[in-house]
Structure 1
């Protein structure tokens, strides 16, 4: 079992209203009117939240609320796993989050999914777990391994990268050694080869799932394996980190998301014009110390040809033809 330095998130990030709750009695007609008007959203049957608060959450935070509400109703203790466990630990993933809550069950019980529960008959013995209210939840290492075995390669990489990300507030949730230890201790013919590939490709420096997705894509496009979060001291004295860097070509790649220009965490009170000017000055400094420079949008990872054209247009060479 992991030596845990984090705890799963067991409280809701927003206020929820339970129609059957003793402390929040809500009139059915009022609920229907509020949902129809778009003021409230239904999380699961009988549980609602204010729409503005719900939309402000990131997808994995929304799923955590759903997990908490579904497990609150379960009559018997469950082992929360896969996407549900990822949400409980704050591990983001690529793609749409499921509507059902994932749980591991004994192998002999089968994997039927009913109501709000999706069952994985992978067994519950010798699984690394942690307390989750009156339930249990797979640890970060176990969760990352389960997802690496179950998901397509790029999505498995993104989830595992998030679990081992060293710059996470409070530190990484787990590390590659712990995940590999669990993989060796829990051999599985199903998904093990994929999990081994994911472990070999994972990086501790990917700050978000789009960076992971782009790293997988540029390798698939024939540009070679980049380093992540390349550190350089610029001539002005400030430190810059490159999202992707190709050492052989001395080529620096920035991946821009909306957060760089909109999130208070990054804007620091600056207006849009000042952010653009500061970013341009930073880019000019970087260009002076590297041979090549490219700027990609995070959503470009969904468009391989666009990424190929941008990188080759900026002078980075691929060993593969244009897709």
Structure 2
């Protein structure tokens, strides 16, 4: 790529417009040749990028990369200052996990004009104060806290909790940010959903899987667990566990399996020894995987069965 165009694209998330390419010397024929030859790809009408090899990424990460490019392409098509990246698109740009959202649709909030869905972009209408916006990758976006409440008003409770839990783990997000936004959004159509999500969100859920498991437990009527409880035995520190039910002597661990992805025998042995030490403390240990989240009633039954085993062990002792 022309070095001048490469610099332009680098400032815009890898995206550049047809007009920008022509401004640095490309002819319409050269642009067409690069598109048909596969060296460039069309992100949206009049917006392009160098073709990227995403084969090393898993499917979800590929969707995230494509969504980032689509956001930059949409904003590069807008009149400067007329729109702000918002909702789940703002969360993606700022590295906050999202789940069960339509990444094929870019979310913008218009500072002028009207709300509509057009060419893969959903344009919202809304008033934004200076406290509600920030700059990310050269774009103006709503802040993490604002994007969380925007999304909570439109997505499922579970999807919103995934992002809200992650947001609270970020040092730039405070409980005061959410308290202010509760007042701002009091009259929004989705305000009851926002209040429920923010009341439930915690910073101690350390992954999207743990957040979804928290929601599963709530929906299935399990008692609230203690998160990230630490355990010690005579040999010292055993470890922190994802969920602990102190009244039932039961530990629940969300097993995303990534820590075993390298097939390391040492990692498997360490985890087995850790679990043995927890059981030696009189604890029942339940492991939950991504697949288990798709069967909430069965997963809740497994946890309750662990409660029963712990109770019988306690009575027998």
The TM-score normalised by the length of structure 2 is 0.78
Q: 1:134 to 1:27 in 2, by over 3 A?
A: closer
Q: Residue 123 of structure 1: CA displacement?
A: 2.9
Measured against aligned partners, the alpha-carbon deviations of 1:6-39 in whole angstroms (never above 9, x if no partner) come to xxxxx9799847584637967645644549xxxx
Correspondence 1:150 to 2:132: no
Instruction: Pick one of 273, 277, 288 that aligns with 1:281.
Output: 273
Instruction: Work out whether residues 206 and 228 of structure 1, in 8 Å CA contact, stay in contact via their aligned partners in 2.
Output: yes
Q: Matched residues in 2 for 1:14 and 1:302: separation?
A: 38
**Counterpart residue number, 2:201:** 202
Q: Matched residues in 2 for 1:13 and 1:94: separation?
A: 28
Q: Residue 281 of structure 1: CA displacement?
A: 0.7
**Counterpart residue number, 2:96:** 91
- SS of aligned partner of 1:315: helix
Q: Matched residues in 2 for 1:242 and 1:58: separation?
A: 31
Q: Matched residues in 1 for 2:42 and 2:291: separation?
A: 29
**Counterpart residue number, 1:4:** none
Q: Say which structure is richer in helix.
A: 2
- Aligned pairs for 1:235-250 (under 5 A) are 235-250=234-249
Instruction: Work out whether residues 254 and 289 of structure 2, in 8 Å CA contact, stay in contact via their aligned partners in 1.
Output: yes
**Counterpart residue number, 1:182:** 181
- SS of aligned partner of 1:50: coil
Q: 1:27 to 1:105 in 2, by over 3 A?
A: closer
Instruction: Work out whether residues 17 and 49 of structure 1, in 8 Å CA contact, stay in contact via their aligned partners in 2.
Output: no
Instruction: Pick one of 30, 54, 57 that aligns with 1:55.
Output: 57
Q: Matched residues in 1 for 2:254 and 2:294: separation?
A: 13
**Counterpart residue number, 1:141:** 145
- SS of aligned partner of 2:118: coil
**Counterpart residue number, 1:312:** 304
**Counterpart residue number, 1:124:** 128
Structure 1 unaligned spans of 5+:
1-10, 166-170, 318-323
**Counterpart residue number, 1:76:** 80
Structure 2 unaligned spans of 5+:
1-8, 310-317
Q: Matched residues in 2 for 1:273 and 1:248: separation?
A: 34
Correspondence 1:299 to 2:291: yes
